[in-house]
Amino acid sequence: MTQPAQNRMTAFDTLRALAERPGGRAITPLFASDPNRAARFTAAFGDLTLDFSKSSIDDTALDALFALAAAAGLETFRQRLFAGEQVNETERRAAMHMALRAPADSGLKAIMPRGTENAAAMAGAERDKMRAFVEAVHAGTIRGATGQTFTDVLTIGIGGSDLGPKVATEALTIGSADVKMNAHFLSNVDGHAFAEIQKGLDPARTLVLVASKTFTTLETSMNAAAARAWIVGALGETAVAAHFAALSTNLKAVAAFGMHQDRVFAFQDWVGGRYSLWSPVGLVIPLAAGWDKFQQMLDGAWAMDCHFRDAPLRQNLPVLLGLAGIWNTNALGCATQCILAYDDRLRRLPAHLQQLEMESNGKHVTLAGERTGWDTCPILFGEPGTNAQHSFMQLVHQGTRPVPVDFILAANAGHDRPDAHRALAANAFAQAEALMRGKSETEIRAEMTKAGASQADIDAIAPHRVAVGERPSNTILFDRLDAFSVGRLIALYEHKVAVQGCLWGIDSFDQWGVELGKQLANGILPQLQPSAERPGAQTYGHDSSTTALIHRFKTLRGEA
């Protein structure tokens, strides 16, 4: 084991030992012994506050977490990240998505194998091109093949080319009276998805964006071909150039598709897919919500970038959020993480964070290529509150394994039902308090006795109502959900991911596990064609189960 890995292992052992102290997993005694705990374990950046006091992290544990950060070289990593160094070590790339929202003259650079690039200036130039296109579409200067203005925009992409733009677009348009265009998203290659989208679209008034850096992603390519056939069938071959734009770097493939070069918007290798919503991949966002809101979203993200870059570690929100997650994962042994956004406009946030965190930090080897020896990313899931309270929160309260929760809430709603928002907030605060406090059998028996229940009913029912409590949560509270706060919130989680990746000693910016499935699918697809011979284990080299499934699939289709 290398020395950095040994240093981490020692630090993780210390954290586990602290959690195993008598009462080391308890939360309520910490509040009982410290009237100022909530204030001391809350950090703020403007109106954005992070309350991580409802955890079993005490002063000793917090010091140990910062000792881990020191052992992992978090300060140096943060400097290297913003210096544009190749922190994506397996792909020899910088991770300079911050340049996408930085001012063009900020000087952010990306050090790449081909040389050092002025990332902020490059991003700014492409942003100017995006803005000109968006404003021309909104003004009606750019129209469809029949001369009609565009009313709808369909984005075709998958993964980072879908989830990030979708969560941002919904956050900025749901409930808004100022929606510029109706946004639609097509990611699943399942034919039912496009069939459903087509029902509400007029091809003459639909602009189609194809988001794929290489323009070769299987699902995106097939869906783009289907959309092309739909446009051509309704408007003719010459309509392709008027109705399509590409978010890609493969100019040759884009031209072969039939798009003009001035409808191609590029982004660089230092932009990872799950960090690309700020780039031309997110072109749907200003088309739907307007350029001003898109710029405000970029400004919010850049504000968080500057906070993460400049704030001391002990007052740094991404660092503290990351450390709270490290405690839950590596000290308490929690294998899951729940995201509950109490705002329906953020209903796709858990899905975006699933990719952001699990694709970034779902790794089992260190940067040195060694097995980590410690757990990395937990499994993320979530739903909007209060819907979740009537589904999986039963398990979170009474299941056998603790599930840490992030509660996300704005103090001021964007609608005219203040009573509804107070009820929403009451539920969010109550859920966090209930997870921590729980309810003992003694309390339940007293409550049932006071209500006049019989002793037999009390004995039979009381154990089933017990909630053990002492379950950790964070609460992220801010003024209101607007474009600025949306950008700031997503960037908060982006940097949390980077912090945790540094502490785990892994590469947060590659995704080799995704590639394996793609490679195998590309090999299997030709074998599913009607003209392919009957598959045999020796013919195609699959295991017997995969071979049999291919044959059974073709048999059910009458193609074996």
Say whether both 163 and 284 belong to one domain. Answer: yes
Question: Is 146 buried (19+), middle (13-18) or exposed (0-12) by CB count in 10 A?
Answer: middle
Cβ contact 219:188 at 8 Å: yes
Say whether both 283 and 334 belong to one domain. Answer: no
| Confidence category of residue 550, pLDDT binned at 50, 70, 90 | very high
252 is catalytic: no
Say whether both 165 and 258 belong to one domain. Answer: yes
Distance CA 182, CA 534 (A): 46
**What does the pLDDT look like over 292-350, one tens digit per residue?**
999 999 999 999 999 999 999 999 999 999 999 999 999 999 999 999 999 999 999 99
Q: How much is the pLDDT for 195?
A: 96
Query: What is the torsional sign of CA 119, 121, 124, 129?
Result: negative
Say whether both 37 and 178 belong to one domain. Answer: no
359 is catalytic: yes
Cβ contact 206:214 at 8 Å: no
The active-site residue out of 390, 415, 450, 464 is 390
**What does the pLDDT look like over 100-109, one tens digit per residue?**
999 999 999 9
* Residue numbers of the domain that contains 551: 515-556
User: The CATH number of the domain where 360 resides is what?
Assistant: 3.40.50.10490
Distance CA 361, CA 73 (A): 17
Say whether both 335 and 277 belong to one domain. Answer: no
The active-site residue out of 170, 219, 359, 494 is 359
Q: Is residue 66 part of a domain?
A: yes
**What does the pLDDT look like over 130-185, one tens digit per residue?**
999 999 999 999 999 999 999 999 999 999 999 999 999 999 999 999 999 999 99
Lowest model confidence (mean pLDDT) among 227-241, 428-442, 519-533: 519-533
Cβ contact 277:483 at 8 Å: no
CA-to-CA separations, 530 to 189, 327, 554, in angstroms, rounded: 19, 53, 8
pTM of the complete model: 0.96
The active-site residue out of 75, 196, 441, 518 is 518
Say whether both 287 and 389 belong to one domain. Answer: no
Residue with tokens 């056939």: 229
Look at residues 63, 67, 93, 95 and name the one whose alpha carbon lies nearest to residue 81. 95
Q: Tell me how many helices (H) and strands (E) the chain has.
A: 23, 13
Tokens in use for 174? 């749901």
Tokens in use for 267? 């982004």
Say whether both 316 and 333 belong to one domain. Answer: yes
Say whether both 264 and 352 belong to one domain. Answer: no
Say whether both 202 and 325 belong to one domain. Answer: no
| Confidence category of residue 533, pLDDT binned at 50, 70, 90 | low
Three-state DSSP at 478 gives strand
Say whether both 382 and 366 belong to one domain. Answer: yes
β-sheet with 206-211: strand ranges across: 182-186, 152-156, 206-211, 244-247, 264-265
Contacts of 534 (CB under 8 A, 6+ apart): 551, 554, 560
Look at residues 259, 61, 286 and name the one whose alpha carbon lies nearest to residue 173. 286
Say whether both 154 and 261 belong to one domain. Answer: yes
Question: Residue 541's CB: how many other CB atoms inside 10 A?
Answer: 10
85 is catalytic: no
Q: How many structural domains does the chain have?
A: 3
Helix, strand, coil abundance in the chain, percent, nearest 5 = 55, 10, 30
Say whether both 414 and 349 belong to one domain. Answer: yes
Distance CA 470, CA 85 (A): 42
Tokens in use for 269? 């290798």
Q: How much is the pLDDT for 537?
A: 43
